[in-house]
Structure 1
Amino acid sequence: MQRIAIPPARRRLHAVIAAGGLSNLSEGMGGLALLWYVLQSGGGASAVGLLAALSLGAMIVGLPLGGILVDRYGARRIAIAGSVAGTIPVACLALLTGQETVLLSLVFALVLLAELPDGAVLTALEARLPELAAGAGYSLERVNAVDDVIDGISGVAAVPLAGVSVAMFGVSFTLWIALVCGLLATIVAAFSLPAESKEVLPRALAAPFQGFKMIVFERSALPLVLIVALLIAAFNALEEVVVPVVSVEVGFGPEGLGIVMASAGIGALLGATIYIGSIRLAKPRTIFLGAVLVLLASLIAVAVQPNWPVLLGAAFLAGLSAGTISPIVNTRLQRFAPTPLRGRFLGAVGALVVSISPVTALLSGVGVDRFSVELVLIALASLCAACLATAVMFPDAL
């Protein structure tokens, strides 16, 4: 049988997507391990909300800074440097969580340091997809959808693996596994992302504002950023605060929490797959609005009946919604900016769309402790309704 040769441009694209999947696997395993550690520490929903807020807050700082660095030094250099920088606090967390008593404040500080470089790594992997897709002869829509499928597979694998690992070997061991996965992603990125020459900037201090200026002057970019910010705020609070807290309240161990969160990953995988098949059958705006309605339905379901089957189904529907929306938004944003400015533009957009999420995550945790899960879910549903209203008011955004 004659061997089919894969062109180098396609091999490079496949490797970059694989590196993103490995990085997502590392994030998923480490995230669930730390989430379980905080839940078992006795801090309650407020501590879980603070953990999510710190992680998201670090992304707000890291994304625009990462965009500047990617445009200045190249995607490959920043992906490698960011990944290596992120492993140091993760290693510290793995060592600390193996001790009998650890201050939660120290854990939170290390989480903040571990998450800061992630924005740069994420921007580095995403900013060069349009060129890699064009070189490989694929459409950008399909590349983004396949990228989300791989992320969905790694997300599905990460949480049950982490749940079983935490139950059998503990949080510390699971964090070491996450660290190894992250280092593997760095190695793959090092050999697959294109080498780029340094960009000569006329004024280094002007660089941070170029991405934000593009958002303001691009007519449909600002409404799109607002729509996505509202949606991400609702989804992150649901996935990172409400679902874990309710899972523990109904008596799940780490394995059960992993199953619930894996169902969201399965939904995301299916959502991205559905989008691949529906690219030519429906307009992106129609698909987007339908996906937001699905997320709204999942919030209402948990508010009405927060039990095991409903929680599992709601997590699946939320993931289905996110998996469908993600390639639509990514493709739209990647096409806004020219190549020399794409890192700064995507970094600025990333910071803005996540800007509401730390507040909603923190308030969701406090709201669950002080009031009720149902009230928090109603508030999150109102964010989805506002997202729908904004999308209807600005049809050109999608």
Structure 2
Amino acid sequence: MASKVTAPRVSLRPLRVRGYRLLVIGQGTSEFGNAFQVVALPLLVYSFGGGPRQLSLVVAAYGGARLLATPLGGMLADRWGAWRVMLGADLGRLAATAALALAAATHRADTPLVTAIGCLTGLGAGLFLPASWAVTPRLLPAEDLQQGNALSRMVTFTTGLAGPGAAGLLVAWLSPSPALVVDALTFAVSAVTLLMIGRGSFAAPAQNVAERAGVPRNFRALLRESRLLRGVLAVTTVANLTMGGMTRVALPTLATHDFAAGAVGLGALLAAFTGGALLGALLVAGLPDLRSPGRTALSCGLLMGLAVSLVPFTGLPGALAALALAGAASTVTNVLIVTGIQHGTPPGLLARVMAAVTFCGLAVFPLSVLAVGAAVAAFGPRGVFLATGLSLLTAFGYAFTRRELREL
């Protein structure tokens, strides 16, 4: 008799934990608000006579400040506590975004002001990111951690699908200023949920004497001793070498020129990746008892590289399917690797470790955009997708040769 195959079922057990439930609500609301700033900011810059150069300056200021603040966020979260860092970052971004909304409403916004506020919001994002990655293990039992990470990703991708459309309607109906007010209010919601959780819920789990004796004293010692951490940082860097440029430069060029699909086609391609990422989160949330999460994560990384390589050669329908597959594989890989890092890192160093992983993913972005821009101008976008697929296949192929990564 054939064995019965059951589809994965998403467990909502992590949502029974009050602190985690509030954290997901707060971060999901904040992520929804981010779309309003992404949509409103270009129109605000254009409204006071700015152009692409001024907009790129504002975006670069945000990205540069976020990158520089990320290691600081990890150090502060481990030293002072993730709760304090996250709350301070939310309140700071609330104030900065509210000031930007006021400047937009009173027609006093200009490039220097918007750039300065972009730096402040980028600083807040950089401080917040590593702390937010470090808190889930302090709110959930170890057996629920993978599902908790997956549910958080589900909320993020759901708001990523819903946010831009709502923001676009609001900006088109009114102006950038109300959209920025919405963004500021979502930071307020995130701060309130943190206050409701309370600082005590974010306390690091206690370690017994034996564990303390074997724990590296600082991040440098951990990096020196942990082949797993060194491997994850190397894979993260190589996998992201051209990913940012592919998404921001090559994909828009492919959609508008090679596919002749215009803005609608570009939106569909981006939505396909996000929709696939959401499905990937559903899948990994329904498979909490994987026999080999490390091998599964690395296999999905290889699948993502193959899918990305096919995007420009299958027409628009094939590209939509390939990006959806890449999005799903990306989420499974990220959730399983992050969960493995959370399980294997001493609690007192977790925020710094997540800051290092985040930094490696973000640090190559500016170079990626510049290099891909030059490559697309000279040769067209197709080679960029092949190069991105090759970098992913190289990164995860190397990871398969490392026992500590296979057995994550």
Structure-1-length-normalised TM-score: 0.80
1:261 aligns with 2:270: yes
Q: 1:197 to 1:328 in 2, by over 3 A?
A: closer
1:113 aligns with 2:123: no
Q: CA deviation at 1:302?
A: 3.3
For residue 215 of structure 1, what is the amino acid of its counterpart?
Answer: L
Q: CA deviation at 1:328?
A: 0.9
| 274-283 or 74-83: bigger deviation | 274-283
For residue 289 of structure 1, what is the amino acid of its counterpart?
Answer: L
Q: CA deviation at 1:352?
A: 2.8
Of 132, 143, 155, which residue of structure 2 is paired with 1:125?
A: 132
Of 176, 186, 192, which residue of structure 1 is paired with 2:191?
A: 186
**Equivalent residue, structure 2, for 1:143:** 148
Quote the Cα distance in structure 1 between the aligned partners of 2:387 and 2:342: 31
Quote the Cα distance in structure 2 between the aligned partners of 1:244 and 1:107: 25
1:324 aligns with 2:332: yes
Quote the Cα distance in structure 1 between the aligned partners of 2:274 and 2:226: 33
Q: CA deviation at 1:359?
A: 1.6
Q: CA deviation at 1:272?
A: 1.1
Q: CA deviation at 1:37?
A: 6.8
For residue 181 of structure 2, what is the amino acid of its counterpart?
Answer: W
Q: CA deviation at 1:74?
A: 1.9
Q: 1:17 to 1:232 in 2, by over 3 A?
A: farther
**Equivalent residue, structure 2, for 1:355:** 363
1:293 aligns with 2:302: yes
Quote the Cα distance in structure 1 between the aligned partners of 2:318 and 2:117: 34
Of 189, 214, 235, which residue of structure 2 is paired with 1:227?
A: 235
For residue 123 of structure 1, what is the amino acid of its counterpart?
Answer: P
Task: State, as a whole percentage, how many aligned pairs show the same letter.
Answer: 24
**Equivalent residue, structure 2, for 1:211:** 219
Structure scoring higher RCO (CA < 8 A, sep ≥ 6) equals: 1
Of 70, 76, 84, which residue of structure 2 is paired with 1:69?
A: 76
| 119-128 or 231-240: bigger deviation | 231-240
| SS in structure 2 of the partner of residue 278 of structure 1 | coil
| SS in structure 1 of the partner of residue 199 of structure 2 | coil
| SS in structure 1 of the partner of residue 17 of structure 2 | helix
Contact persistence 1:159–1:262 (CA under 8 A): no
Q: CA deviation at 1:83?
A: 1.1
Q: CA deviation at 1:56?
A: 4.2
| SS in structure 1 of the partner of residue 344 of structure 2 | coil
| 96-105 or 164-173: bigger deviation | 96-105
Q: CA deviation at 1:299?
A: 2.7
Q: 1:101 to 1:335 in 2, by over 3 A?
A: same
Q: 1:367 to 1:35 in 2, by over 3 A?
A: farther
| 234-243 or 328-337: bigger deviation | 234-243
Of 328, 339, 346, which residue of structure 1 is paired with 2:347?
A: 339
**Equivalent residue, structure 1, for 2:30:** 23
Q: 1:129 to 1:382 in 2, by over 3 A?
A: same
- The aligned length equals 377
Q: CA deviation at 1:98?
A: 6.6
Q: CA deviation at 1:371?
A: 4.4
1:156 aligns with 2:161: yes
Contact persistence 1:67–1:346 (CA under 8 A): yes
| SS in structure 1 of the partner of residue 25 of structure 2 | helix
**Equivalent residue, structure 2, for 1:90:** 97
Quote the Cα distance in structure 2 between the aligned partners of 1:20 and 1:375: 37
1:377 aligns with 2:382: no
For residue 396 of structure 2, what is the amino acid of its counterpart?
Answer: L
Q: 1:95 to 1:361 in 2, by over 3 A?
A: farther
Quote the Cα distance in structure 2 between the aligned partners of 1:126 and 1:146: 13
For residue 73 of structure 1, what is the amino acid of its counterpart?
Answer: W
> Cα RMSD (Å) of the superposition?
3.6
1:161-216 deviations in Å (ceiling 9; x for gaps): 23333444444433332222222112112211533789xxxxxxxxxx93344223
**Equivalent residue, structure 2, for 1:396:** 404
Quote the Cα distance in structure 2 between the aligned partners of 1:331 and 1:148: 12
Quote the Cα distance in structure 2 between the aligned partners of 1:368 and 1:42: 22
Q: CA deviation at 1:118?
A: 1.0
Contact persistence 2:233–2:356 (CA under 8 A): no
Larger radius of gyration between Structure 1 and Structure 2: 2
**Equivalent residue, structure 1, for 2:6:** none
Structure-2-length-normalised TM-score: 0.78
Contact persistence 1:32–1:163 (CA under 8 A): yes
Contact persistence 2:238–2:395 (CA under 8 A): yes
Quote the Cα distance in structure 2 between the aligned partners of 1:242 and 1:162: 25
Quote the Cα distance in structure 1 between the aligned partners of 2:147 and 2:90: 27
**Equivalent residue, structure 2, for 1:204:** none
Quote the Cα distance in structure 2 between the aligned partners of 1:256 and 1:105: 34
Contact persistence 2:251–2:381 (CA under 8 A): no
For residue 18 of structure 2, what is the amino acid of its counterpart?
Answer: R
